[in-house]
Amino acid sequence: MPELPEVETVRTGLEPVMQNKVILKAEVNRPDLRWPFPPNMAQRLTGACVVRLRRRAKYILVDLDTDETLLIHLGMSGRMLISDMQVGDFQLKNFVKEKHDHVVLYMANNIRITFNDARRFGMMDLVPTPRVDKHKLLASLGLEPLGNSFNETYLQLALVGKKSSIKNVLLDQRIIAGLGNIYVCEVLHHAHISPKRRSGSLSKKRVNTIVPIVREVLSNAILAGGSSLKDYRQVDGELGYFQHSFGVYGRESLPCYTDNCDGIIKRIQQSGRSTFYCPTCQT
């Protein structure tokens, strides 16, 4: 699931239970996710105090007082679970481990944070904090869509002369970092632009409309995530899997929501991935 808004919601949810807290113990239950964990990850996390949590694109960055940063990506199915524990739980090992609980952090505030990822497309790495931006996976990321540098001129420049479809370009993390399959579909639906359009064929005027729509769609989703984020004690503590209602994604064969449009949502494949759009109002 996790695109930028979901990752931001997870970061927000983790902040109060991790920031300024010491990791008493880290448990690593397998050698890898998508890639091997860094050497001695458990030992390097143990005893570290979390200084702050940041987000870059779909990555969560946990800065530690050891001058290392824990880099986390949730992949397709990664989740963070927050749960209470009794003092000493981590020594007694008496809590129930669910399938795919790959990494467990026992925090000094008697809270346990569990990284669960069925498909294991996620990743974790430990890198020196000053060099985290140079990490192979972060180095080539494009602009944050909610940052100040992302503007009409930037997008025009990024699209000019491009032969690939506007959908694939908006999905390209080297250009805009954080949009995924769902929100690209949503953005293009709002902008009334066909996902099949060659990027270079869009007028400047139409390109310009995309920028505020990206901002709006993402910030609304973050707001929705934030408001669905209850106190972890009241729910199951699962972060990263709240359900939104989407305007076009997943609505194949249903009527288009656009005002005065009587179109029916269609689903096609682009670069092997599903695209949902309205052939009537998206041109």
Partner DNA sequence: ATGGGGGCCTGCCGGC
Partner DNA sequence: TGCCGGCAGGCCCCCA
The region of 64-72, 148-156, 227-235, 272-280 touching DNA under the rule CB under 7 A is 272-280
Which residue in 38, 44, 273, 279 is the catalytic one?
273
Beta strands in 57-119 (DSSP E): 59-64, 68-73, 78-84, 101-107, 111-117
Binding status of residue 163 toward DNA by CB under 7 A: yes
Does 253 participate in binding DNA (rule CB under 7 A)? no
Total residues in contact with DNA, by rule CB under 7 A: 34
44 is a catalytic site residue: no
What's the rounded Cα separation, in Å, for the pair 117 and 123?
Answer: 10
Query: At its nearest, how many Å lie between DNA and the CB of residue 265?
Result: 13
Q: For this structure, is 273 an active site residue? A: yes
13 scored as a contact of DNA (CB under 7 A): no
Stretch that binds DNA, among 14-22, 36-44, 102-110, 174-182 (CB under 7 A): 174-182
Q: Is 162 a catalytic residue?
A: no
Measured CA to CA, the distance from residue 99 to residue 83 in angstroms comes to 16
For residues 123 and 34, the answer to whether their CB atoms sit within 8 Å is yes
Q: Is 99 in the site for DNA (CB under 7 A)?
A: yes
Sign for the CA dihedral angle at 226, 228, 230, 235 comes to negative
Closest to DNA by CB, 90 or 249 = 249
Residues of the chain by 3-state class (helix, strand, coil), percent to 5: 30, 25, 45
Q: Residue 266 catalytic?
A: no
Measured in degrees and rounded to the nearest 5, phi and psi for residue 29 equal -95, 0
Q: Rule CB under 7 A: is residue 134 a binding residue for DNA? A: no
Q: Which is nearer to DNA, 59 or 232 (CB)?
A: 59
Q: Which of 24, 26, 50, 57 binds DNA (CB under 7 A)?
A: 57
Alpha helical stretches, state H, 115-180: 136-139, 152-159, 166-171
Interface residue with DNA, options 148, 149, 234, 243 (CB under 7 A)? 243
Alpha carbon 250 to its chain centroid, in Å, reads: 19
| Shortest distance (Å) from residue 122 CB to DNA | 8
The DSSP element (H or E) to which 27 belongs, if any, is strand 23-28
Query: Are 155 and 138 in contact, with CB atoms under 8 Å apart?
Result: no
Interface pick for DNA out of 30, 52, 97, 119 (rule CB under 7 A): 119
In contact, 244 and 221? CB cutoff 8 Å? yes
Do 54 and 30 meet the contact criterion of CB atoms below 8 Å apart?
no
Region of 115 on the Ramachandran plot (φ > 0 left; ψ -120 to 50 alpha; else beta): beta
- The correct pick among 69, 168, 194, 282 for binding DNA (CB under 7 A) is 168
List the one residue from 30, 43, 76, 216 that touches DNA (CB under 7 A).
76
* Active-site residue list: 2-3, 58, 273
Q: Which residues contact DNA by CB under 7 A?
A: 1-3, 6, 34, 57-58, 73, 75-77, 99-100, 118-121, 137, 162-165, 168, 173, 180-182, 241, 243-244, 271-274
